[in-house]
Every structure is written in structure tokens, then in C-alpha cells.
A and B are shown apart, each in its own frame.
Chain A
Amino acid sequence: MNGAAVPGTAAPPRAAAVPRRWTGQRRFFIGAAAFAIAIAAWFLLARLGVVSGGRFPTPSDVWRSARQIAFEPGYAGGTLWQHVFHSTRLVLLGFAVAIGTGVPLGLLMGTSRRADLLIGPIFSMLRPIPPLAWIPLAILWLGLGDGAKIFLIWVSAFTPALINTYAGVRSVDPTLIEAARVHGAGPGRLVRDVLVPGSLPMIFTGLRLSLQTAWMTLVAAELVGAFTGLGKVLATASLDINPGMILYAMAWVGVMGALSTKLLARIENKVLPWLKH
């Protein structure tokens, strides 16, 4: 019974019925057809007047919004390009600060039992507070500007970065560490040549998670209060009751989330070629 539970043998039921090379194409065609039907239905419903634009946008509403925000003076204080650029810059800055603090602290806690015992409990005490719950405090402390956003991104991305680095260091084969020590590696070389490379796969897993929460937190923070950014576009569109713009901005939130995840996977493949997905 357990034999069949081994991943390699537990093929999905019915997979054998369809030849391998057909499944991918079949999937693609059915998916594309479903999309096409949904979009056609949207156009049709708009033409028939079922979707009237008051609560759900018609295709022409979305098109108008897309054109409006693409050119100067844009919408909600800037063009789409300016909003996207602003949000991306904040995510990258906050993310850099989170990596710069989370990874070293994770390395420290992973290597030193004392540091782990001292810092670990504080951290587990603060961790259950979700990043979004920090938004009001961030606004109180730092206002509606970029500082508050970077602080929030740091709060959200720091935890996954730290936890995964810690787990990564712990997963390094102790024999490797001992071997490096026996051959005279000092603490600096041990970290640089053994612990960091050994825990990189886990660190990247953490970074992927951090990047996702960072985006989500930024959009939420911008919805609550900001001067520019994709979340600001959403908030303004919501106040203006402009469903076309809401849908368009949501689509861009999705595109940016997908792009950043893909980009990180690319970097991961470059840095860790031996683990290529």
C-alpha cells in the first residue's frame, strides 16, 4: 500500500489513458477556449445590457480606463507607468532592507544556539501579528509617505526571509560543517563558503514567499492611504465608483505579482543552476 504512495509511481488517475504529448496541448486548447468563451460572454452581456457598467464594467469601460491612465495626466495623480514604477521601487527597497536584516539574523540564529534561544521567543511572540495589522501603526509613526510603505514591506518580508534562512542553515549537513572546521575554516569562511551556499535553496524559498507578501502588503497599505501607486489607483477608482478602472488596476496588481514571482524564479535558476526547475 505504501509502495504506491511514492511520488514517482503515484501517477494521477487516468493519466495513462491519454498520451503524454497530447495532454499539454489539450490543456492549452481547452483553457484558451474557456477564456475565449468567457470574454465573448462578457461582450455579449454588455451588448444585451445585462452588464451595464454600474457595478461591473463593460469592455468599453475597461478600454476607456486603460487609455485614460496610459497618457498624461493619467489617473489618481499619475500615469499607469508612474504608479507601477513607484510601487515596484518601494517593493524593491523594502525587500532589500528585509533581506539585509532577515538573512543575517537567520544565519546568526541558525549557527548560534544562544542567539536562537535569546531572540527566537521574541520573534515567535511578534510573528502572529499579520503584516496588514501593522498598517495603522505605520501610518501613525511614519505618515502616508514612502517611509511607512518601506517599513510595512520590511515587516512582511522580514519573517519569511529569517525563518527560511534559519531552516536552511539547520538543514546543512553537520558533517560538512565539521569538515570545514577540521580544515581550519574560521567563522567568516564557514558562513561564506559552507552555510550560505548550503542554505541558499531554502533562502530562495523564503524570498519567494516574502516577495508575495510584500506585494500584498504594499497594495493594502496604498489602499489605506498613499499619494501614488497601484493601490492608490484602486482606492481612487473605488471612491469614484469607476468599475472599469478598478478592474484594470486589479489586473495590473495580478500582472505585477506574477512578473515579480517569475523574475525571482529566473534569478534563482541563475544563482542555483543545479536546482533548475
Chain B
Amino acid sequence: MAEALSVPVVAVGAAARRARARSREAWLLPALGVLGFFALWQAVAMSGWVPERYLPGPLTVARTIVELSTKPYSGATLWGHLSSSLVRFGTGFALAAAIGIPLGLLMGWYRWLDDVVSPFFEALRFIAPIAWVPFAGLWFGTGIGGPTLVIFSGAFPPCLINAYRGAKYVDRRLVEAARTLGAGGPRIVAEVLLPASLPAIVAGLRVSAGIGWQSLIGAELIVVASGVGYMMVQGQLNVLTPVVMAGMVAIGIVGVVIDVVLRWFENRIRKSWGR
């Protein structure tokens, strides 16, 4: 009896130990990886293999970020550059959503519109948003209009495609019920297709925000006179690698924040509207 009991007890003990080791690994290894990455970076920067001006260490970059947030560089502080980037981003993104979502829904309902717009859309889709930069500058200048066109051209396709797909896959019975009750095309689009495809639309918004933010950075590298991208180009021209890296960190963080906000929004929509 005692023997029979003792065997499982030992096994449980070993399993528990293994589980504890696994859970210790689960936080130890990631911490080790990240710390190791920074340590290696710092070590290479300090070793002098690479001149410090081309590869500043993480500490230098962190110090630069702090400095840039109070001291203006190429016209504005880091916050100033970020806010002018965000205004451009917001304008282009809002325009893309305001045109892409209604157009996608209407294309999902009116077949002729789908037939007319789709070929143009397909033809333009393969042109990288960044290739619009020359025309953007020529048509709308380099202030807010030009970059907005570039962001728009990046953020527009996912808005349209998701609204379109959402509208196409709405439960047919809902559509037929609405038609039987006498709803016309515009009412069906606004009161059946729009609410039913809301989860798909919001998912599309997240994708388009990501592409839009990317395209904005590209546009700012080329045409504008303010914004994070511009700050980085100035840093590059003056061989100030820490400024360039500080810009990369700022861009990464803002990108994550935009994504987190939209993901939160997406979850809320899915909870209240999704099936």
C-alpha cells in the first residue's frame, strides 16, 4: 500500500519540478534574450570595432530621445515632429476610411458599381503607395496635402476591400428580409450591410492604419519639412546616427500605440456587433 502510494507521489513531485522549471524558463529566457541583445549592442558600440558615430549604444540613443524631447532639432522637438506626423496620418487615414468604407459597401450591393470600379482598383493596387510621392508633391505640395495623398493611397485599399467583403458575406436572409419589408438599395446598405459588416470593416481599419503609418514615414523621408521622417533624414545628412535611431524608436512606439488602440476598438466592436 505504502509502495503503491509512494510511486505516484514521486512522479507528481518530479512533474511539478519540471513544470516549475518550465515556468521559470518562460520568463527567464525572454529576459535573457532581450538583455543579451542590449548588452551585445552596447558592447559592440563600446568596443570601437565600429566608429561610435555610426553605431551609438542603446544608452546614447536613450539619452538622445530624452534630449530631443526638450531641445528642438531641425525645427521642432521630438514631440513637435511627432505631432505634425500624426496630424498628416490622421487626415490621410480619415479620408481613406471616409471614402473607402462607403464605396466598398456600395460596391457590395450595386453590381454595376463593382464592375466599373474593380478594374481600376485592381490596376492601381499594385502600385506601391510610395510611388505616389512625386505626384503627391506636384499636385498638393509638400505641406500636408502631399503626404496625405501618400497615406491615403496606402490606407485606402484595405478599407475598401474589407467593407466590400463584409457586405458580400452578409447573411442573405437578413438582406432578403429587409427587401421583403420594402427597403430599397440605400437603406439596405446603410441599415443592413453596414452594421453586419462592421467587424470586418474595423479589422480592415487596423490593417490600413499600419500601412498608412508606414507610407507616411516613407513620404516624410522624401518630401516634407517637418515630421519624424524629416528629422531622421536631417540626422542622416548630418551623420547623427543617434537622432536616426531615436526616430526609429519613436516610430515603432507610435505604431504600436496606434495598433493597440485600434485592436481595443476592434474587440469592442466585435463584442457588441459580431456574431
Contacts and interface: CB of A to CB of B under 8 A. Distances in A.
Interface of A: 1-2, 4-5, 7, 10-14, 26-27, 30-32, 34-35, 38, 55, 114, 117-122, 125-126, 128-137, 139-141, 215-216, 219-220, 223-224, 231, 234-235, 237-238, 241, 243, 246-247, 249-251, 253-255, 257-258, 261
Contacts of A126: 252
A246 B138 contact: yes
Given A1-B171, A4-B172, A132-B217, A258 B126 contact: yes
Contact of B138 (A2, A223, A235, A238): A238
Contact of A55 (B32, B138, B218, B255): B138
Contact of A4 (B33, B108, B171): B171
Q: Interface of chain A, helix or strand or loop or mixed? A: helix
Contacts of B26: 117
A2 B275 contact: yes
Nearest to B233: A136
B119 A34 contact: yes
Given A10-B169, A121-B30, A224-B221, A30 B112 contact: yes
Contact of A223 (B34, B108, B115, B133): B133
Report the interface size class on chain B. 35 or more
Given A140-B54, A238-B138, A246-B135, A13 B175 contact: yes
Nearest to B169: A10
Given A55-B139, A140-B236, A117 B116 contact: no
A34 B120 contact: yes
A243 B217 CA distance: 23
A128 B169 contact: no
B138 A136 contact: no
A203 to B, nearest CB: 21
Interface in B21-68: 25-26, 29-30, 32-34, 37, 54
Given A38-B120, A55-B139, A133-B229, 8 more contacts: A30-B112, A133-B252, A135-B218, A215-B128, A223-B218, A238-B134, A251-B127, A257-B128
B250 to A, nearest CB: 9
Nearest to B176: A13
Interface of B: 25-26, 29-30, 32-34, 37, 54, 108-109, 111-112, 115-116, 118-120, 123-124, 126-135, 137-139, 168-173, 175-176, 213-215, 217-218, 221-222, 229, 232-233, 235-236, 239, 241, 244-245, 247-249, 251-253, 255-256, 259, 275
A118 B172 contact: no
Top 6 nearest A-B pairs (CB, nearest first) are: A238-B134, A31-B119, A117-B29, A136-B236, A30-B115, A257-B126
Contacts of A130: 213-214, 217, 251, 255
Nearest to A125: B34
Given A12-B168, A132-B221, A136-B236, A220 B128 contact: yes
A5 B123 contact: no
| Chain A CB within 10 Å, residue with most, of B30, B233, B247 | B30
Given A118-B30, A128-B255, A34 B116 contact: yes
B251 A129 contact: yes
Contacts of B213: 130
B21 to A, nearest CB: 12
A117 B126 CA distance: 37
